[in-house]
């Protein structure tokens, strides 16, 4: 994959200030404020910044298998960097993502001898029961949920927790999972009251 961000002055014998001299340079704190900076000092400053930029860009290119272009799109670059950090399974650089009641935990693991990352995702879903019921039961079986992060390979299981309480005795509240894939799932809720708002919870496991 192409990486437009290149390191500067990295060859053997490059004209750059020695590290000990660089760390002792007064301009390191203030910047070059007057007079002329030597070419070796300028090259050193350019090398330090370009070296890191090139390394980060190469990590994105290697992890996501995409071209990283010097096109001025900082928002796209940051999005790709976050995606690469979440995708990387060898260093597990962003293992935890939690946003209030929805999030995931990434766990490094070996699967048949190969390094991978297992994701334990959790969250809530809300739906309103239908106004028409059957045998005194009112349900909503079309609640779509997008996981906090897509499973890179497979969604192994979804466990549905209990639903919120509906006012009244004998409402028989229930929540369940109807289907699942790597990016989301469909859930349902039911009780013995029509047009009732209900909230359920889930745990999704995959890698």
Least confident range from 91-95, 97-101, 103-107: namely 91-95
**pLDDT, averaged across the chain:** 89
pLDDT bracket for residue 100 (50, 70, 90): low
> Per DSSP, which regions of the chain are E strands?
96-99, 102-111, 114-128, 138-146, 155-160, 174-180, 184-191, 197-206
Reported as a single tens digit per residue, the pLDDT across 169-199 is 989 999 999 999 999 999 999 999 999 999 9
Reported as a single tens digit per residue, the pLDDT across 12-26 is 999 999 999 999 988
Q: What is the 3-state secondary structure (H, E, C) of 99-119?
A: ECCEEEEEEEEEECCEEEEEE
pLDDT bracket for residue 55 (50, 70, 90): very high
Question: What is the distance between the terminal CA atoms of the chain, rounded to a whole angstrom?
Answer: 25
The contacts of residue 75 (CB under 8 Å, 6+ apart) are: none
């Amino acid at each position: 994959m192409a990486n437009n961000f290149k390191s500067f002055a990295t060859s053997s014998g490059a004209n750059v200030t020695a590290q000990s001299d660089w760390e002792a340079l007064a301009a390191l704190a203030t910047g070059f404020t007057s007079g002329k900076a030597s070419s070796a000092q300028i090259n050193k400053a350019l090398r330090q910044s370009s070296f890191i930029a090139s390394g980060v860009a190469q990590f994105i290119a290697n992890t996501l298998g995409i071209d990283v272009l010097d096109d001025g799109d900082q928002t796209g670059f940051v999005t790709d960097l976050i995606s690469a950090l979440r995708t990387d399974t060898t260093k597990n650089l962003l293992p935890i993502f939690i946003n209030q009641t929805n999030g995931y935990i990434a766990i490094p693991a070996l699967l048949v001898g190969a390094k991978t990352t297992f994701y334990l995702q959790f969250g809530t879903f809300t739906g309103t029961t239908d106004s028409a019921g059957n045998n005194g039961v009112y349900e909503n079986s079309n609640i779509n949920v997008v996981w906090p992060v897509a499973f890179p390979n497979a969604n192994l299981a979804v466990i549905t927790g209990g639903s919120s309480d509906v006012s009244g005795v004998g409402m028989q509240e229930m929540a369940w999972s109807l289907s699942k894939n790597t990016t989301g799932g469909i859930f349902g809720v039911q009780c013995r009251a029509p047009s009732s708002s209900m909230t359920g919870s889930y745990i999704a496991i995959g890698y």
